[in-house]
Structure formats: structure tokens, C-alpha cells
Structure 1
């Protein structure tokens, strides 16, 4: 796990949370005071070094486009509804007493697995038989390269029976970056409603996965 420190307050255990995009998640706060009016949640995303307070004194700051998807639970945990890849990053929950930091605090790294698609058809929104499709699966994270290189995570494409598609000549798998793996194949009529799954593994354990279901917008005859 990664570590960090907030000046003037003792540090609690740092947690890593792995989810797929579209899921909802609750990030735990060390609610030592049992009152959210003393709670501040700080967010730092994976692309910038800027820090944003998303909740101050238990009140939603409404200072980001995603504010309507954020809420606090009764124990001051941060709920994120229908996460996107842009929600990935570092989250810190701290509490104040009479204007002073009260510890220990909670620090959560949220990692979001996301799949996007592109097709060789004339319209990128259409997926048809006899065309090539590329699925890109990426882990969005505060420090993704560190997660993969230091903690030995890996991305794998599987079919609906959990067979590694690296062994199937129909699929071209590329992983030019640690945090990104792509799958390219030419679809046939039988692929309609087929499930392809991108899996994030840590050694032999599955941390999270995203399932992409092939759905044709038009079919060609055999």
C-alpha cells in the first residue's frame, strides 16, 4: 500500500480500493468524533497535483462537475455514485476539533478500471459483424505505474468461460503500457452478445474486472 502524511495529525492505515467504472463505492472515514459536521474530505486526482476539498464541515462544496454524485453516510464515509475513470485518485478524510486537526485520519487510493471501444465501421458508435473492433482496458490510478511495477498487478483479457484470450489466435492482445491492455478482433455473426472480460489481477487474486458485452447494431448475412 502507498503511504502519505498530513501535517499535525497522526496517520491511520492507508487503503487501496479497486472498482470498475459504473459501480458505486463508499470510502471509509475514521469517524473518531462521530459527527460529520467536523469532517473534511480532500481529493487529489491522478493527472494534477492540485488538491480539492469536496466536503468541508460535512457540507458538499459543489465545486466539481461530479458533486451531485457525492454524498456522506451517517458515519462520514464518502459515497461516490456510478464512478467514472475521472474519480480515480487520492482521498483523505480528516476531522477538526475547535479548528485543530484531530487524528488519526483516513487515506484512500481509489483505482478505477475502465473499458472503451472503437470500431472500424463508418460510425464509431456502431458495432457490426465482419468489422474490426478494439477494446482498451485501463486502470486509472493516482500512481498506476507504481501499483503495477512494485505490487505486481497485471491486466488480462478473458472470455465468458474465464479462458485467457492471449491463447486464442482470433484476438490480438497488446500491452505497451503497464496500466493499459488492448484487445483487437474481427467480429463474426456468432459474437453477438458475447462477453469479454478485462481482469485486474494481483498474483492469483482478482481485484476487480470489467465485462464488455458485444451487441451488434446491425447484422450481415452469412
Structure 2
């Protein structure tokens, strides 16, 4: 076959992909700490958001929850009060909780017919908690051992070990100076559970730990995506310290978090 025919055939394949939508839209991965607000972009949006529908799935094969239908919020969703549709057809979610992790699908309909392919956004949520209390604040006496839990809630089904390995995801604790805490430091006991994307930090609080901050970070390919901190604050009424969890300081939703499906 001549070079001209090869070019013609290639052109027909490309044109067919554009017409049928089989060329696909890149999936986006967004990392955020619990308690923050998030903005999920719709990469396949049409000029009129009345054609936009947003769906949510916890896992790949779980039941679908329709959040936005043709530009309007659904009233029968638990997230109703925290949802809004941006002027660019993006989905805004306020006060993210660990229940919000999973993947979100932006889909376009015109005259009841789907247009093009889905635009998917995978939302990964970092959450810090303490063994001392499930609430956001608790009093811990100096000299007492405390365990901090840092968990990445992800769309991965079952073990997230394979996903962490393939995407080069890492969870770790750092001190106030940003230095990574390691198992070689006898003061800290650090354990990782790849099955549930959890890293724990156990330590005994000292008097000098008052107002000290430990931060849990998640990185992808050595780039920090988001972090949450555990801050120990002095109490003026008693010889105790108050643990405040979490204080969110970092959030990355730059284009580098987008990967092809």
C-alpha cells in the first residue's frame, strides 16, 4: 500500500474516533484532606451545563449515585447540601469527608443521547485521627503514649498495595521542620498497612512537645499531593496538652495529577 493510502487510512481512523468518542478523556486524580472543599473539573463539558450529569461510584462496580442530572442537583442524595455546580460545569463539594472518596463521572446528554465519552475524576482523601478520641479534640497528658493514624481513602478495591506500587504512592510522617520520621528513631514506632493505605505513628509525648506539629503527607512520584497535621497545644488550666486533628495545610490539584486511562 502506498504512503498516501496509509495516510488516508490513518485519517479515517482518527475521524471515526472523534465522531464516536472512542478517543476517550484523560482520567484525573485529585488528592485532598478531609474537611476541605474540592473542585472537580468536567473535562468534556459542553457550553450549556444543562447537558451535564455527574454520577458517583464508591468502587468500580458499586451502585451509581446520580448527584447532578442535566445541570440540576438531585434532592435525594446525602451530599445535597454540600454540592454545587460551577459555571464551567465542575462539581464543587464542601467539607469533604472520608465517605466522599471514590470516582466521579461527568457525562453529557443532548436530546437524551450521550455525547462523547465520560470524564472521570478519582477522589483520594487523606484523613488523620488519634487513638485517644474519635472527636476533633482531646486532652492528652504529657508522658502518655499516643498513636496517630493517617489513612488514604482511595477507590482501590480490597488491597491498595498494587495501586500504590504502580502509581508510586507513599504515605509518611514528618516533623515541624519537614524532616521525614523514620523507624530508625527509637522514639517513634511507625507501622504501615498497605492493605488499607494506613501509616501509624506511636510516640510518648514530652513536655517540649507542647505546640509541636506532626504532619502526614502523601506523595505521588515524589510530589506532595496533600497533607494533614496533628498539632499538640498546651493547656493553661492543667498539665495536659490538647491534640487538634486535623489541620490541613497542603492541597495539590495541579495538572500533574492527571493521568491517562
Over 3 Å counting, the alpha-carbon distance change for 1:212 and 1:76 in structure 2 is same
Look up the match of 1:188: 206
Moved more, 67-76 or 24-33: 24-33
Look up the match of 1:169: 186
The match for 1:150 among 138, 161, 166 is: 166
SS at match of 1:127: strand
1:99 aligns with 2:119: no
Moved more, 46-55 or 180-189: 46-55
SS at match of 1:86: helix
Look up the match of 1:219: 239
Q: What's the C-alpha RMSD, in Å, of the aligned pairs? A: 2.1
1:84 aligns with 2:97: yes
Decide which structure has greater helix share. 2
**What is the CA–CA distance in structure 1 between the aligned matches of 2:162 and 2:122, rounded to whole Å?**
13
User: What is the Cα deviation at residue 9 of structure 1?
Assistant: 5.0
> Residues 101-137 of structure 1, C-alpha deviation per residue, up to 9 Å, x if partnerless?
01243111000111111229xxx93222121111100
Count how many residue pairs are aligned between Structure 1 and Structure 2: 210
Q: TM-score, normalised by structure 2?
A: 0.74
Look up the match of 1:4: none
Contact residue 58 and residue 155 of structure 2 kept, 8 A: yes
Contact residue 31 and residue 75 of structure 1 kept, 8 A: no
Runs of 4+ in 1 over 6 A off after TM superposition: none
> Which structure has the larger Rg?
2
1:210 aligns with 2:223: no
**What is the CA–CA distance in structure 2 between the aligned matches of 1:107 and 1:49, rounded to whole Å?**
15
Look up the match of 1:5: none
Moved more, 146-155 or 70-79: 146-155
Q: TM-score, normalised by structure 1?
A: 0.86
Gaps of 5+ in 1: 1-7
> Residues 78-120 of structure 1, C-alpha deviation per residue, up to 9 Å, x if partnerless?
0011211111101000010000001243111000111111229
Look up the match of 1:69: 82
Look up the match of 2:55: 42
**What is the CA–CA distance in structure 2 between the aligned matches of 1:9 and 1:38, rounded to whole Å?**
16
Look up the match of 2:139: 126
